[in-house]
Amino acid sequence: MSRLAKRFASLARDGRKALNTYIVAGDPVPEATVPAMHALVAGGADLIELGVPFSDPEAEGPTIQAGIERALAHGVTLGDVMDMVSAFRRDDRDTPVVLMGYLNPFLRMGYEDFCTQAVAADVDGVIVVNLPPEEAGTFQEALRSRHMDLVLLVAPTTTAERAAYIAGQGSGFLYYVSYKGVTGARHADAADVAKRLTGIRAVAGGLPVLVGFGIKDGASAAAIAPHADGVVVGSALVDTMGSTPVAGIGNRLKAQVRDIRDALD
């Protein structure tokens, strides 16, 4: 069983919602990332989504763009990101880590090379914002043959028929984008999300559905969570990474995640 499947099975057993936390690898400095990942887990995160810096992040709002720029100022590459996951794994064998980014760095490394290194680093899967399932074939095969997951996204504009197709193509979990727009732009509207999620969960074939975009704190997480298998928090954490002196990041992240965890449970 994959690390993601194991984690979702144990959450289901306990009747708890998944808390998935996103930070940008290398933000604000490369040394901050591994301690920050441990702080997320200490605060109660069930999954970590590690952002792979890319020069042209066309679906990100200003907060995550700024986090990516801070990382790129240190020349953080996809190879570096996997080294960070390896280092994290020395002390944490259980928390699933999914890399989230844009296709070009993966393409440039080569899917085979990436998969080899990702397996060695114990990466559990990838989310590629600009890779819809129609374009994913080769990468998906490479990932699947190494038992890594390709997590796919469903948007408010996705038709019901297409949502079923996407659910059939993806693995790990299904990522529902709560609103039309870039990351960090708005609050997720619980009523909208609830309306859409009933249909999506019906076609998800047992794949857990997590909701991301616009979930910033305990209140917004608690409003969305009843309709889903879990939530994703990103911009709010990246904001903390950018506005906190490096030495203080761990404690602040842990407290921030703890608040959201408490609201969920």
Partner 1 sequence: MSRSNRVPYEAPTDDGRFGDYGGRFVAETLIHALDELTRLYASVSRDSAFQAALARELKDYVGRPTPLYRADRLTEHAGGARIYLKREDLNHTGAHKINNTVGQAMLASRMGKTRLIAETGAGQHGVATATVAARLGLECRVYMGSEDIARQSINVYRMKLLGAEVAPVNAGSRTLKDAMNEAMRDWVTNVDNTHYIIGSVAGPHPYPMLVRDFQAVIGNEAKEQCLAAEGRLPDLLVACVGGGSNAMGLFYPFVDDDGVDIVGVEAGGEGLGTGRHAAPLNAGTPGVLHGSRTYLMDDESGQIAETHSISAGLDYPGVGPEHAFWKDLGRARYASVTDDEALAAFRVLNQTEGIMPALESSHAVAWTLREAARRPREDIILVNLSGRGDKDIHTVAAIDGIEV
Q: In degrees, to the nearest 5, what angle opens at C-alpha 124 toward C-alphas 122 and 128?
A: 125
- All residues at 6 or more sequence positions from 206 whose CB lies less than 8 Å from its CB, including other chains: none
Q: Is 112 a catalytic residue?
A: no
Rounded CA-CA distance 231/233 in Å is: 7
CB 53 within 8 A of CB 71: yes
**Which residue carries 């690898």 as its tokens?**
25
What is the phi/psi pair of residue 185, to 5°? -85, -30
Q: Which of 31, 49, 58, 112 is catalytic?
A: 49
Residues in touch with partner 1 (CB under 8 A): 53-61, 65, 72, 77-79, 102-109, 129-132, 134-135, 152-159, 162, 166, 177, 180-182, 185
CB 163 to partner 1: min, Å: 10
Nearer to partner 1, 119 or 155 (CB): 155
Rounded CA-CA distance 62/43 in Å is: 25
CB 188 within 8 A of CB 213: yes
Q: Is 49 a catalytic residue?
A: yes
Q: In degrees, to the nearest 5, what angle opens at C-alpha 158 toward C-alphas 224 and 264?
A: 10
Nearer to partner 1, 11 or 24 (CB): 24
DSSP 39-78: HHHHHT-SEEEEEPP-S--TT--HHHHHHHHHHHTTT--H
Q: Which of 60, 69, 112, 134 is catalytic?
A: 60
Helical axes 33-43 vs 249-264, angle rounded to 10°: 30
CB 153 to partner 1: min, Å: 5
What is the phi/psi pair of residue 121, to 5°? -90, -5
Nearer to partner 1, 10 or 55 (CB): 55
Which helix or strand (DSSP H or E) is residue 20 part of? strand 18-24
CB 76 to partner 1: min, Å: 9
Nearer to partner 1, 35 or 132 (CB): 132
Nearer to partner 1, 44 or 57 (CB): 57
CB 244 to partner 1: min, Å: 23
Active site residues: 49, 60
